[in-house]
Amino acid sequence: MIQELKKISTRTITNNPWWEYRLDEYILPNGETGEYHYVHTHGSTIVIPVTSGNKFVMVRQYRYLNRRKSLEFPGGGQKAAIAPAENAAVELHEEAGLAAGELLHIGFFNPFNGVTDELCNVYLAVNVKTIGNSPEPSEEFEIIELTQNEIINKIQKGEIWDGMTLAAWAIFQHSLYFKK
């Protein structure tokens, strides 16, 4: 039987406004003490915006760590004092320049459960209207509208490779809101 591991202590090694790098000491299944290094966050959100013409709004941006452009759904990390739905609305505005008539929570996932405790909430934005984006100073976005088939084609060709976007799309495709 798989047992829950008992935490002895937690220590923050370094932090920034979006995450902390932590070190926990815990009891291993054999009774010895172990260390677990991980990234702690307040969570994140990703939004799948749908236009009245049934197109999906995505953003292309430069991703520093991979040194390449990435086609993604709007989203980002949460700060401690903000609720997931509010964060989703902020990210939708900042990145895609949109406001949602309605934000529907369709699921959540952990992007890398061996490395982070982050939970990413996935929202579907319907009845969207353009209000103009306001990106953070480190971000630039190209806004792109795609059909469902175009998204699937770009995934198959490796043109959409962002894990958060792929997970959100999988959740959407199995949601009550997915139309074939």
Confidence (pLDDT) at 21: 98
Q: Which domain holds residue 143?
A: 44-173
Q: Are residues 35 and 97 in the same domain?
A: no
Mean pLDDT of the chain: 94
Which region among 30-34, 79-83, 136-140 has the lowest average model confidence (pLDDT)? 136-140
Q: Do 116 and 169 fall within a single domain?
A: yes
Among 151, 157, 75, smallest CA distance to 111 is for: 75
Average pLDDT over residues 101-126: 97
What local confidence, expressed as pLDDT, does residue 1 receive? 84
| pLDDT higher than 80, residue 134 | no
Tell me the whole-structure pTM to 2 decimals: 0.93
Please give the angle made by the CA atoms of 148, 150 and 153, to the nearest 5 degrees.
110
Q: Tell me how many domains the chain contains.
A: 2
Q: How many residues does the chain have?
A: 180
pLDDT, position 180: 59
- Of residues 161 and 81, the one with the higher pLDDT is 161
pLDDT in tens, 20-72: 999 999 999 999 999 999 999 999 999 999 999 999 999 999 999 999 999 99
Whether residues 126 and 54 share a domain: the answer is yes
Residues 25 and 106 in one domain: no
